[in-house]
Amino acid sequence: MTVSIPEDAIAVDGDASTYLEELIVGDLPTLEPTIGDAVGSLPVEIVGPHLRLEGTMRLGYFRRISDFLNNHDGLIELGDATILRRNGDPTKVRTPSIWLSPTEVTLVGQRRGGDVSEAPSDLRVSKSARSLIVVTPGHTLTGQVYIMPDATLSVFIESSDPTFIPMTDIRTRSLADRRIIARYEFGLLNRRHIVAATELLPGMAPSGRGVL
């Protein structure tokens, strides 16, 4: 038996933004920012295997986003959120708040800045930068992680703690469409989404860009 699927029922496979935008049947009201200017709030981009959003994350009493994510239980609220298409273009889907499961988040990225160097001088620990190539369910990415000078990279990768790994100079490429590349100065990678990882050695990357 052959089942016929109407053309208007076909959507982009694996891209949640397409399905969510199909829910909109009229003009949406203009949203005024709610927590974007609040103290302790940071603009972030959330990347998962099938969903990409931008909005504002409120850290509460935590000073750094890495501390917040690695010590937070339950769903995470993203304020003033916009659903993005796979290529990063905004859709019409906007909401004052949306709750996300951290286990389904691959990367929490910041286009500018980061909290690797924000710790007070008396709390800073000297670390060495190591470049990684990582494969996740939806992306390949390159970036730098920071480990203790006497630590080995294999032990760092095999560890289960912290859940979200701080990285800098991140470049991602979508596995669904390799033309889609994004860059973040700082981000937190979910260890649970690492399918494979290896060190980016000299000679593996052309000058000026990462291997993806």
pLDDT at residue 29 in the model: 61
Residues 6+ apart with CB under 8 A from 128: 146, 147, 148, 149
Contact (CB, 8 A) for 189 and 110: no
- Rounded Cα distance between 31 and 38, Å, is 16
115 inside domain: no
69 inside domain: yes
Examine the fold and report which residue of 53, 82, 109 is the final residue of a domain before the chain moves on. 109
Examine the fold and report which residue of 71, 88, 109 is the final residue of a domain before the chain moves on. 109
pLDDT at residue 10 in the model: 44
Task: Please write the tens of the pLDDT for every residue from 12-42.
Answer: 456 788 777 777 666 666 666 554 445 578 9
Residue 180 structural domain: 121-199
87 inside domain: yes
Task: Please write the tens of the pLDDT for every residue from 44-103.
Answer: 999 999 899 999 999 988 889 999 999 998 999 999 999 999 999 999 899 999 999 999
Residues 131 and 187 in one domain: yes
Contact (CB, 8 A) for 11 and 18: yes
Residues 52 and 128 in one domain: no
- Rounded Cα distance between 56 and 33, Å, is 10
Give me the CATH number covering residue 61. 2.30.30.100
More confident residue, 206 or 111: 111
